[in-house]
Structure 1
Amino acid sequence: MIVRIMGEGQVRLDNAHFTELNKLDDELLAEMESGDEEGFRRTLGALLAAVRRLGTPLPDDALEPSELILPSPDATLEEVREMLTEDGLIPG
């Protein structure tokens, strides 16, 4: 799957990693629902770091369609809330 982190670029991510990412996504969703800004910042950073660590960066000139778009590390709680689906940021 091709994942874009807004403001950073794209990575190719194997579907096998989505179990780990979904745990972080569930944690992020719970922190957003409770208004835990500090937890939200920490978990968003951990989620994006995991995507970077587990994914293979695509060249800047690659024109692959992104199947998943994640917020930038400095996104606000409200900006991320607008990106949510019923599954959170990550489907599944």
Structure 2
Amino acid sequence: MIVRIMGEGQIEISPDDIAVLNELDSELEAAIETGDEKVFRVKLHALLDKVRHVGKSLPDDSLEPSELILPPADASIEEVREMLGDQGLIPG
């Protein structure tokens, strides 16, 4: 699966890593629902850090279609709320 972190580039993620990313996504969604900015920031950074850690960055000149688009680390709660689908940022 190819994931784009806005402002950073594309990362290839193994299907085996989706479950742990979904857990972090659920925690992020819960923080958005409560409106807790501090917890939201921690959860957003945890999700993005995990994507960077488990994934393999694609070269900048790679033009693969992204299956998921994640917000940048400095996104606001409202910006991320607008990006949420029925299954959060990461379906599954």
Q: TM-score range by the shorter chain?
A: over 0.9
Distance of 2:34 and 2:12 partners within structure 1? 32
1:13-92 alignment to 2 at 5 Å?
13-92=13-92
| Structure 2 CA distance for aligned equivalents of residues 4 and 79 of structure 1 | 16
RMSD: 0.4
Which consecutive unaligned segments of at least 5 residues does structure 2 have?
A: none
- Aligned partners of 1:26, 1:12: CA distance in 2, in Å? 21
Structure 1 residue 29: Cα displacement: 0.5
Where does structure 1 differ by over 3 angstroms across 4 or more consecutive aligned residues?
none
The alignment's TM-score, normalised by the length of structure 2, stands at 0.99
Distance 2:3 2:73 in 1: 14
CA-CA distance at 1:26 after TM superposition: 0.5
Q: Give the TM-score, by structure 1 length.
A: 0.99
Tell me which amino acid in the other structure corresponds to 2:31.
E
- Point out where structure 1 has 5 or more consecutive residues left out of the alignment: none
2:73 alignment partner, SS class: coil
- Looking at structure 2, the residues matched to 27 and 12 of structure 1 have their Cα atoms a distance apart, in angstroms, of 22
Q: State the secondary structure of the residue aligned to 1:51.
A: helix
Q: What number of residue pairs does the alignment pair up?
A: 92
